[in-house]
Copies of this chain bind each other. A is one copy, B any other.
Amino acid sequence: MNKNSEVIHLHHGSGGEHMTKLLNEVIFKILKNDVLEVRHDGAFLNLQGNLAFSTDSYVVSPIFFKGGNIGELAVNGTVNDLSMCGAVPKYLSLALIIEEGFGLDEFTQIIKSIKEAADKANVQIVTGDTKVVEKGKGDHIYINTSGIGVVHEKANIKIENIKEGDAIIINGAIASHGMAIMSEREGLEFESDILSDTINLNHTIKDLMDRFGDKIHFLRDATRGGLASVLNEIAVDANLGIAIFEEKIKVENQVRSACELLGLDPLYVANEGVFVCIAASEIKEEVVQILQKINPNASEIGFVTAEHPSKIIIESAFGGKRVIKPLVGEQLPRIC
């Protein structure tokens, strides 16, 4: 049997010699760092300050897609959740549920992506777990990452801090991740590829915190359920209304075409690198300028209002207004 056709078997999850071999020859070899090196049941950490703690399981299908893979997503997703708490992410755990028969080459590629994404975000994978389930009881690989970050000393991200008149800013075009996955699933071809927008947002958020501190009132990444769902959650939790302008929300042309083809509204399509920043009105131009340096599609898309609490109202380019309801039912299963 040549190396290229090696696969993961149930015994790789048994706690015995085969598991040790998989850990040593792939996982520890690639992810190597001082904390992981201790190889105890848990990692020992020394952290000062207030902490943020977050978890996400990644079940995206397919596991490889244009612009990324499940490994990269698993790092960026949890790094971003911590960032949305105003925290600087420090340490991640990594727990794998592998389906028997999963190829060792693909597995190794995913672990390498995890390492690269962790390095980019300047976080360490410090503890982990590997389970193998029978064929037909999983789907290639599911990944859980949990993360710990230190809350930025100037940060004060709280739903209660959102005020009437605050600006709603997003950092890029929407719906790219969801449509990258859907194009892959449906085998759609466009003139140019639709790439997932998966990226670590922690350095951007740290920059905003350094400059603006508690004038950034709230942050949330617009992942599952898309921008519409996240804005609805915020409006309900804050008991305030949100008014947005359709023309300010950027959607890449090929993403828009794909949405039209599949009958999907980009507002409800998942993102991985898009976040909503709710900022005090006096800093809004500066925030947009900073975000536009990273991504020209960053834009102030609307504002917080007391007029229609718990409701999102969107105004079209022609002045028509409609309510944007929360997502009901399932639009895109297993998008992350």
Give A residues with C-beta under 8 Å from B: 9-11, 13-18, 20, 39-47, 50-57, 59, 80-82, 84-85, 87, 91, 93-97, 126-129, 131-134, 136-139, 142, 144, 146-149, 151, 157, 159, 220-221, 223-225, 229, 233, 237, 270, 326-334
Contact = CB atoms under 8 A, between A and B. Distances in A.
Given A16-B329, A50-B45, A133-B334, A95 B55 contact: yes
A288 to B, nearest CB: 23
A85 to B, nearest CB: 4
Given A17-B328, A136-B136, A331-B14, A44 B51 contact: yes
B81 A42 contact: yes
A147 B53 CA distance: 9
A327 B148 contact: no
Contacts of A87: 42
Contacts of A46: 50-51
Contacts of A54: 41-43, 93, 127
Nearest to A59: B131
Q: Is the interface of A mostly helix, strand, loop or mixed?
A: mixed
B53 A43 contact: yes
A146 B50 CA distance: 18
A159 to B, nearest CB: 8
